[in-house]
Amino acid sequence: MNSFMLSRENFDKIRQEILLTWPTGKDLSLEEGIAYQKQIPPEKNFAVAMRQASENKETLIQPRAGVALIQDHIKLLQYLETEGGADLLPTTIDAYTRQNRYQEAAVGIEKSLQARTSLLNGFPAVNHGLAGCRQVTEAVKSPIQVRHGTPDARLLAEITLAGGFTSYEGGGISYNIPYAKKVPLQKSIDDWKYVDRLVGIYEENGVRINREPFSPLTGTLVPPFVSHVVAIVEGILALRQGVKSITLGYGQGGNLFQDLAALISLKNLAREFFAREGFDDYELTTVFHQWMGGFPEDEAKAFSVISWGASVAVLAGADKVIVKSPHEAMGIPTKEANAQGLKCTRQAINMLRDQVFPIGRKHQAEIDQIEKEVRCIMNAIYRLGNGDVEAGVIAAFAAGAMDVPFAPSVHNQGKILPMRDNEGFIRVFNKGNLALDDEIMDYHRGKLEERAAAEGRQVCFQMVTDDIYAISKGRLVGRPK
């Protein structure tokens, strides 16, 4: 037990309140949930699957998927497992549940029943309750994870972990700043302490639950150092509550060398800062997200984006890759389109799995650059928090020393403006108040000037807009018309 750990007394007090926020929470027993988890076979445990993938140097594939009704959701998952060949399954939670609007979710379930199709963009797990979740987790053969975007995910965690899910995505920063408008960072971090502590209690009772901070953040030109800082801080916050299986991630940027450097540096940096915090007993694995920004509408073009993401994931040695579908530009995919994304990904992985990509001097320089940037921001966080990473990260967001591009939260300054350099590396155009030193900024500026010269225009905001829509329009760098 460390001094940051939520005490059992406080945990129980919060638990009593949180279980009463919707009728399906009322009769939940933690002991019964732990007993239920214990009879789940190891081949269905997410933490085991991630550890084995890492040991065997495999890249597992996982889709996103969730619909309103239990039977339809089961059919969807079974299809992705058998026809799509997914190694790991998701249950994506609908947007009403993510905002704790269970009444609206109930209306969505009702309307979906009437329409005979899902009008919700995910599975409303709180409304379906413990029995509904167990129906889902028992109907599939693979490890299954809750994927969402919930600032206050305490009740959802209680229900889904007792319901047989063995991995839980999210974190107090990554499920607030890109997913909420007005939730204070201290509030979401406190609420996620509860979730991590719940996972810690399962752990202490012999059940290992995997935790995965949401790395891509806004999915739009996020420089590697920005998502790395969030991943590392959330990793530390989870370790403090007794979590042992942590999967840190990175969302594809688009330039091969930057993406390889990002995934390699992420693991090094996480180990460095976890050690600094006094942690050495944990399982660290990685996830790579295929392109999270705007997709081409043309399905053949979309497959190209998916295949490129799959390729980079393998070459970078990611333990798992989150897969997109050819319907991405239009929103939520059909089960057929979702399975196609999985097959496309599998083919690329199998063709590249035995190949080794050598890291040359130029690539090492990019790894060093990302590490320098992350240490720069992390040092500011420790400085602002008088040595404590939690207080520091809250202060850093308030001061803009840490800043996420294009995020909806008012607690994020949003002054950072990223754009691509001439080779498609994501660089910082305007740093706002980010705690990056002059040497780093000179490097970024120099790279952007190279592009400006090549395009015969000044470095300008139009380039940012051009870059945001570039991939959906058919290329990586948003060149002038």
> What residues line the site for other proteins (CB under 8 A)?
94-96, 98-99, 101, 104, 107-108, 111, 117-121, 149, 178-181, 218, 220, 297, 327, 329-334, 337, 406-408, 461, 465, 468, 472
Q: How far is the CB of 178 from other proteins (least distance, A)?
A: 7
Q: What angle is formed at CA 329 by the lines to CA 325 and CA 332, rounded to 5 degrees?
A: 60
Question: In 10 A of CB 82, how many CB atoms?
Answer: 12
Q: How far is the CB of 330 from other proteins (least distance, A)?
A: 4
Residue among 331 and 480 whose Cβ is closer to other proteins: 331
Residue among 331 and 358 whose Cβ is closer to other proteins: 331
Question: In 10 A of CB 47, how many CB atoms?
Answer: 24
Nearest to 233 by CA among 154, 177, 289: 177
**Which residues 6+ apart lie within 8 Å of 132 measured at CB?**
70, 125, 163
Residue 211: strand pairing partners: 168, 246
Residue among 373 and 467 whose Cβ is closer to other proteins: 467
Q: How far is the CB of 408 from other proteins (least distance, A)?
A: 4
Residue among 51 and 411 whose Cβ is closer to other proteins: 411
Q: How far is the CB of 331 from other proteins (least distance, A)?
A: 4
Q: How far is the CB of 406 from other proteins (least distance, A)?
A: 5
Question: In 10 A of CB 403, how many CB atoms?
Answer: 24
DSSP states along 214-277:
-TTTT-SS--HHHHHHHHHHHHHHHHHTT--EEEEEEE--S-HHHHHHHHHHHHHHHHHHHHHT
Q: How far is the CB of 422 from other proteins (least distance, A)?
A: 23
**Which residues 6+ apart lie within 8 Å of 56 measured at CB?**
none
Q: How far is CA 89 from CA 80, 247, 249, 327, in A?
A: 8, 15, 17, 19
Residue among 179 and 257 whose Cβ is closer to other proteins: 179
Residue 92: strand pairing partners: 147
Residue among 214 and 274 whose Cβ is closer to other proteins: 214
Q: Are the C-beta atoms of 345 and 305 separated by less than 8 Å?
A: no
Gyration radius of the chain's alpha carbons:
21
> For residues 152 and 163, what is the distance between their CA atoms, to the nearest angstrom?
18
Q: Are the C-beta atoms of 266 and 213 separated by less than 8 Å?
A: no
**Residues annotated catalytic, as ranges:** 98, 169
Q: Give the containing element (helix H, strand E) for 188.
A: helix 185-204
Q: How far is the CB of 118 from other proteins (least distance, A)?
A: 6
Nearest to 406 by CA among 461, 354, 455, 452: 461
Residue among 279 and 291 whose Cβ is closer to other proteins: 291
Structure tokens at 64: 């996103």
Residue among 337 and 391 whose Cβ is closer to other proteins: 337
Q: How far is the CB of 103 from other proteins (least distance, A)?
A: 12
